[in-house]
Chains A and B, each alone.
Chain A
């Protein structure tokens, strides 16, 4: 009875335990406690939420391990942390301090403009962003055990999250209705590994858990993404950039569970105080968008 750690089943399995839940960005132990008390199924430890990364400019890197450690010591739920795209040494550091999931994230400044991390080499699982099916399957091919649609982080505008979720889910529906002889050309067209295209077609969904991220700011936003067909949501700036983080966090957790119950959604949406101010994506230049990072 030999025990086997770090297998793909085990990595993918943790994401399955997060389903139907809300993963919240937190920048210190106090935030992490608020998130856990609100019912977050995991927290993402980072030094600045995406809205602040946008506002501050400059290079955004992995957070201080000491700050991540404090969060690990504070909560009993899983703790995730971000490394830069392609920065496998930041990933090695995060693995060594015991984070439960690494987000190879476009929110940070990319360290490699051609390659992502080869994630199969790690015992710790990775989540990666995508805008479409091809990008999702390339990341899974590299070893990502969980996918999140990117949206546009730090904006509070859900429009890109909707676009990316519709793109992934729509391409899967298209894939399922294709005759077999068209599959190879489809794999070529979207730049995805052929075996994963076949598996996705057979399953009728991505082979790993798929959350939505980037711009979710209200309970209704969370429920919208769930009704579109994702497995759960990440909320970044939307909680701690709002007027009453604890109340809003609790409401988003409830909305993610009761996403089909409009009466409950109305109830939890009452008197939440100010939502994050946000930035309308249609007013942004392409250079300001971070979802285009990732290859």
Chain B
């Protein structure tokens, strides 16, 4: 399976390593033509403003929007912001998912945290009670979701941190910073 990682800025190499250990053929995407032939794309963590500016400068906005209409895309942290239709700020967004995002929702870096999340239904057929250890770095929150968007995981207080809409997946946290590959396997299923 051919999966791309958007390699404009951020921790795309961490995603690449994780995907390769799962047997995917991984391609770094920096220009529109790099999207050809891919079944799915991961937009990594990084700075969403930086990623947005570089995507705009190199003509990737429209090709990414078109790609997301038929193929799977997963955004982690900055990538989740980039997928949203609204982030309360003027910055380039793909507007592919009907979710509203609040950037830096938990505060500054000293407030970044790790926590165990319940993610029911992550990998059908596997043990469901095993929590997912999630790393939140200056993380965004999925403030609200429209109909047609499935909430995949929330914090204990009910705030949304993972959501899926068709083949599109958004997580506020970084499975690529852990050794737990369940989210990457889940995404590869979406990309099939």
- Measuring CB to CB, which residues of chain A are less than 8 angstroms from any residue of chain B? 1-7, 9-11, 13-14, 16-21, 36-42, 72, 76-78, 95, 98-101, 123-125, 253-254, 256-258, 261
Contact = CB atoms under 8 A, between A and B. Distances in A.
A40 B50 CA distance: 6
Give me the 5 closest cross-chain CB pairs, A-B, nearest first: A100-B109, A39-B53, A3-B113, A41-B47, A20-B9
B112 A13 contact: yes
A20 B7 CA distance: 8
Contact of B116 (A1, A78, A123): A1
Contact of A16 (B11, B30, B108, B111): B11
Given A41-B9, A78-B138, A254-B54, A17 B45 contact: yes
Contact of B115 (A4, A13, A17, A99): A4
A258 B8 CA distance: 8
Contacts of A7: 114
B71 interface: no
Contacts of A42: 47
A39 B46 CA distance: 12
Nearest to A4: B114
Given A9-B135, A13-B174, A39-B49, 17 more contacts: A1-B155, A1-B156, A3-B113, A3-B115, A9-B114, A10-B114, A17-B138, A18-B46, A19-B10, A21-B46, A41-B9, A41-B47, A72-B108, A95-B110, A98-B108, A257-B7, A257-B8
B110 A98 contact: yes
Interface in B148-183: 155-156, 174, 177
A9 B114 CA distance: 8
Contacts of A101: 109
